[in-house]
Chains A and B, each alone.
Chain A
Amino acid sequence: MGTVFAASGVASASWLLLALPALGALVLLVGGRRTDGWGHLLGCATIALAFVWGLVLFFHTTGLPADQRVQNLHLWSWIPVNDLQVDFGLRIDPLSLTFVLLITGVGGLIHIYSIGYMSHDRDRRRFFAYLNLFVASMLLLVLGNGFVTLYLGWEGVGLASYLLIGWYSDRPTAATAAKKAFLMNRVGDVGLALGIFILFAKLHTTQFTEVFAQAHTLSGGTLTAVGLLFLLGACGKSGQFPLQAWLPDAMEGPTPVSALIHAATMVTAGVYLVARANPIFDLTSSGRLAVVIIGSITLLIGSIIGCAYDDIKKVLAYSTVSQIGYMMLAVGLGPFGYALGIVHLLSHGFFKAGLFLGAGSVMHAMDDETDMRRFGGLFRRMPITAVTFGLGYLAIIGFPGLSGFFSKDAIIDAAFRQGGWQGWVFGVAAALGAGLTAFYMTRLVIMTFFGDARWPELKTAEGKDYHPHEAKSVMTVPMIILAVGSVGAGAFLTLGHRMSDWLTPSLGQLQEHAAGPLSSTVVSVLVLGVSAIGVLVAYLVVARRAVPVQRPEPVSWPVRAARADLYGNSLNEVLVARPGQWFTGVLVFIDKMGVDGLVNGLAAAFGGTSGRLRRLQTGFVRSYALTMLGGAILLVAALLLVRFSA
């Protein structure tokens, strides 16, 4: 790690990045109905200003020499308690600025899109307040200069996601999904919190600068423990195996929320955490291996399940699960992959946001219908959506020249170059994931935009005809901008190692394995081939015959398993929920019988004894006199005994 410099110049006002969205959320929440008329505009304006300010900081930082780009801004002493000194401050460096631009840029486009998407919602102002809160929390997460500040943002993101996923709180499914997301995130948060506790116990600090400078003094076991606990946290927030089940359920929220969660905020937090804690992960190869394994499992799970769903948003959700799996795989490769993971995160931010906004546009046109079996042939009715969606689709499957081609192939290549059994296992898993991605995305696009139109013969939930139409420009313009990003971001970021060089002050120099079992060209051709097979199979399966409106039953066991989320929920229930309930039951029993029993028993014993002793007070003077006489005789007898026995 290079030296950390105190922030100066415009960087000393970088707190504005946080303050703007937070102020927006505050004004909209406190202002209440008075702000209904212009609330959405304020919400967009704060994010836009934050984006502009982020650009200013970006150019300020690029103007600095490469070894002075990590800047620390101390704001105030937050928790000054004896040994525990937590400062509230911001860390302005290439990594955090990259995230700031992604969050405010893509997040801002989603804000603008929401003006149109939520125009029929009575509570649009409150929606924008929550969106602003979401962005503010995420910015705090990436900008904080210590693990505690990061944790504050981490929890803020959890809260905002809960509020937004449960937006349609009158629907029981949405309320349940919000609770599920919140609870599963807590599981991960416990891991992150414990990791921070260990760091504090061993190093007596939680600030990034000091922790990273002293990380090498920790023992291997401690580093691995911290790495695994951070991984647990990342699994919760990023929807990685085994905590992936909340992410698809989170589709209950409005579509812009899904786009925000999946592209710009929230799920990228896990990848950010691992990348940010790179000095720790650099030192623990077993921790990194765990990250790679989790990433590989998740990318396969996500892409397999994505093949089976008919709900357009759920397919995209599992696609996110799988793409985040790629990012985890990349950052788990350590110095060989941190930058690759971040690059894929950025290009994914563009194309996934574009895909989600496109899906939202389709839903908007189709009366909030999400079942792809009821779509078909929408290309002519909504050409802008179809084209932008198509570009996002080409980007995600890694069509040569588009974003995914540069960012995803680099990860697969790096996985192969690990060498040994690891290289083969993870490389093949990643390549297989690419083929599956091509399959389910092609299936989605064909079922939605091409083939026979199935909706003219169908009625909406209210029994009306479907009238698909192109969305308003406030929705299409963000989609077009994101489509441009999907096309160009990958090449722009990777050619000439632009991105990895920019990130070097934060993540260290991107290293490349000298050689793997396969050369980069072979890997590239292999991935293209696998993806082409995926596209071809999808074409043969979906496009060559009519799509039944009712989903076919019964189906073969792999499809059944995939439709049941590969039993992810059952697994969670059997492994975590049931033992948890049982354990809670036992604890309640012990509490009632043991702890309460002891305390209550003691009280009852005293009460009962005194109740009985009370009966000695009869009110008869003569019995008192007898007692006194007996006592006196006893005393005298005792005195005599002592005197004459000696």
Chain B
Amino acid sequence: MTPTYYLLLSALLFAIGAIGVLVRRNAIVVFMCIELMLNSVNLTLVTFARINGSLSGQVMAFFVMVVAAAEVVVGLAIIMSIFRTRRSASVDDSNLLKY
């Protein structure tokens, strides 16, 4: 049971999340992909905490979870209000803020 596998898994999860953010248009899916990336980072932090026998990584993971929870609240609220006004959850449709 080497920690390397955990690292590989988290790298895989991060890659999936990143690709999801880049290729998917639905705001909810993009949002979930961001959560996936955050959690893969959490996994990495916990793994390194285990390897180094230090609690710092685990504490850091808790911080990330708190921030992620807060971000979900705000992010979902924004997506909801955009959907209500524009009848669309596609991230490509909301492109008004540009040059």
Contact = CB atoms under 8 A, between A and B. Distances in A.
A622 interface: yes
Contact of B97 (A614, A615, A619): A619
Contacts, number: 33
Nearest to B25: A622
Given A614-B99, A615-B99, A620 B92 contact: yes
Nearest to A617: B99
Interface in A608-646: 614-622, 625-626, 629
B7 interface: no
Contact of B98 (A619, A626, A629): A619
B21 A622 contact: yes
B70 interface: no
A286 B23 CA distance: 92
B98 A618 contact: yes
A616 B95 CA distance: 13
Is the interface on chain B under 10, 10 to 19, 20 to 34, or 35 or more residues?
Answer: 10 to 19
B36 to A, nearest CB: 14
A617 B91 contact: no
Contact of A618 (B18, B23, B94, B95): B95
B96 interface: yes
B1 interface: no
> Could you say which interface size class chain A belongs to?
10 to 19
A629 B97 contact: no
B95 A629 contact: no
B22 interface: yes
A88 B96 CA distance: 71
Interface in B58-97: 91-92, 94-97
A134 to B, nearest CB: 68
Contacts of B99: 614-619
Given A621-B91, A622-B91, A629 B96 contact: no
B92 A629 contact: no
A629 B97 CA distance: 20
B98 A622 contact: no
25 contacts: A614-B99, A615-B99, A616-B99, A617-B99, A618-B95, A618-B98, A619-B95, A619-B96, A619-B97, A619-B98, A619-B99, A620-B91, A620-B92, A621-B30, A621-B91, A621-B92, A622-B21, A622-B22, A622-B23, A622-B25, A622-B91, A622-B92, A625-B21, A629-B18, A629-B22
Sorted from nearest, which 4 A-B pairs have the closest CB atoms? A619-B98, A619-B95, A614-B99, A617-B99
